[in-house]
């Protein structure tokens, strides 16, 4: 079992206080957006044996287990994070596995540099993800029913939004959502900026269900993504609740602290709320234009005290344990690799004492016993 020393990413949207508060550290005044736990080549966790990437490369079957290597290859297939949003992240979607492979191979054939700002596919993998709230957590997830989106827009009484309201009422669901999103993202930027400014003022005046979009416009003035965001479900998670974001589902995180886990990929197609490149034709190819309930997840408890967040993919499996002082030790030994993360209290993981924000990597088959009083999240794979 290896104690992890993890990199904190200072993205501009990050909270300046949430991660330091969890770690019991003094804020630096700079944003601290994400703490990465795993073997992502961009910022692998460090261990006493070296970077986790190198530890795994030296003997993948020993560290990951034969079954995981056979299924996912000689790499840790997930990345675990603490995510602290102090401002909205970009509105985005992720491709499915076939789309990611096709897009990556196409850009490789065309010689698009991997670090080019207009490159869409950094790798050939998909990027399903799960966010579990540690504090109250706001986000956008999946399309509203077109009639609901039409009502939200119509209530603003902004003349330039009326064509979108009519489209949402006049077409079948998929066509309505596709036509409106296409129109918003393809509109003249000056005219759209004026529409967003007028929309933001109306949202601030009305408040209630419109308030989140006034806040978006405050952070991204004139951005077409503000209007696109109004097509989506607004979700407020309570601590312990989670969202699963599958391929093609537009989403954005707005505010809050959570534990995030995802397949090990960097593939993101942006819809707005960003100064970065938005490839509208490719985005429209990837987005799934179907209205859906955001599907708030609550953990399912097992007899041994494990609370599992069920998802339809195998690259990761997230669960948590609420440990009680004096209770029997929990044996978490598995034939797959694990990362254990303490988010509250004081946890003993093998020989390691873990406080909030501290984590360990457990190689496949390694003895893993936890005890103490607090909360520990367990990240592994299904192999």
Task: List residues with catalytic annotation.
Answer: 270
Convert 334-370 to b/e letters by CB count within 10 Å (16 or more is b).
Answer: bebbbbbbbbbbbbbbbebebebbbbbbbbbebebeb
188 vs 374: CA distance, rounded Å: 53
How far is residue 59's CA from residue 66's CA, in Å, rounded to a whole number? 11
Distance CA 110, CA 16 (A): 40
Nearest to 292 by CA among 102, 78, 99, 149: 149
Q: CB 114: neighbour CB atoms within 10 A?
A: 12
Q: Which helix (H) or strand (E) holds 301?
A: strand 300-301
C-alpha of 280 from chain center: 21
Radius of gyration of the chain (CA): 22
Name the one residue in this structure whose structure tokens are 């990761």: 316
Half-sphere exposure of 174 (CA within 13 A, CB side): 6
Spatial separation of the C-alpha atoms in residues 263 and 261, rounded to whole Å: 7
- What one-character-per-residue DSSP string does 28-53 give? -SS---EEEEE--TTS--EETTEEHH
The single-letter DSSP state of residue 12 is T
Q: Which of 95, 143, 165 is nearest to 290 (CA)?
A: 143
């Amino acid at each position: 079992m290896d104690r992890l020393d993890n990199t904190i990413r200072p993205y501009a949207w990050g909270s300046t206080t949430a991660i330091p508060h969890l770690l019991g550290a003094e804020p630096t005044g700079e944003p601290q957006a994400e703490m990465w736990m795993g073997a992502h080549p961009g910022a692998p966790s460090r261990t006493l044996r070296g970077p986790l990437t190198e530890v795994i490369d030296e003997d993948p079957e020993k560290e990951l287990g034969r079954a995981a290597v056979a299924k996912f290859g000689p790499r840790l297939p997930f990345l675990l994070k603490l995510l602290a949003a102090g401002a909205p992240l970009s509105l985005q979607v992720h491709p499915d596995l076939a789309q990611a492979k096709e897009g990556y191979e196409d850009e490789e054939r065309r010689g698009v540099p991997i670090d080019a700002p207009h490159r869409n596919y950094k790798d050939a993998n998909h990027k399903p993800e799960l966010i579990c709230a540690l504090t109250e957590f706001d986000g956008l997830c999946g399309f509203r029913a077109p009639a609901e989106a039409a009502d939200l827009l119509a209530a603003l009484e902004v003349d330039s939004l009326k064509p979108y309201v009519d489209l949402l009422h006049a077409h079948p669901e998929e066509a309505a959502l596709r036509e409106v999103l296409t129109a918003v993202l393809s509109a003249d930027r000056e005219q759209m900026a004026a529409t967003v400014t007028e929309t933001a003022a109306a949202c601030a005046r009305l408040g209630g269900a419109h308030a989140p979009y006034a806040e978006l416009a405050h952070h991204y003035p004139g951005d077409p993504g503000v209007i696109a965001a109004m097509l989506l479900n607004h979700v407020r998670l309570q601590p312990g609740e989670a969202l699963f974001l599958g391929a093609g589902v537009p989403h954005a995180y707005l505010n809050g602290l959570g534990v995030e886990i995802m397949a090990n990929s960097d593939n993101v197609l942006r819809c707005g709320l960003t100064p970065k490149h938005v490839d509208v034709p490719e985005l429209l190819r990837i987005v799934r234009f179907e209205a859906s309930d955001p599907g708030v997840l609550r953990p399912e408890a097992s007899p041994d005290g494990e609370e599992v967040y069920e998802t339809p993919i195998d690259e990761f499996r997230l669960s948590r344990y609420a440990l009680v002082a004096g209770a029997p030790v929990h044996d978490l030994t598995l034939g797959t690799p694990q990362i254990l993360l303490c988010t509250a209290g004081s946890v003993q993981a093998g020989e390691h004492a873990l406080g909030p924000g501290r984590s360990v990597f457990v190689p496949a088959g390694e003895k893993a016993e936890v005890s103490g009083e607090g909360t520990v999240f367990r990240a592994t794979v299904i192999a």
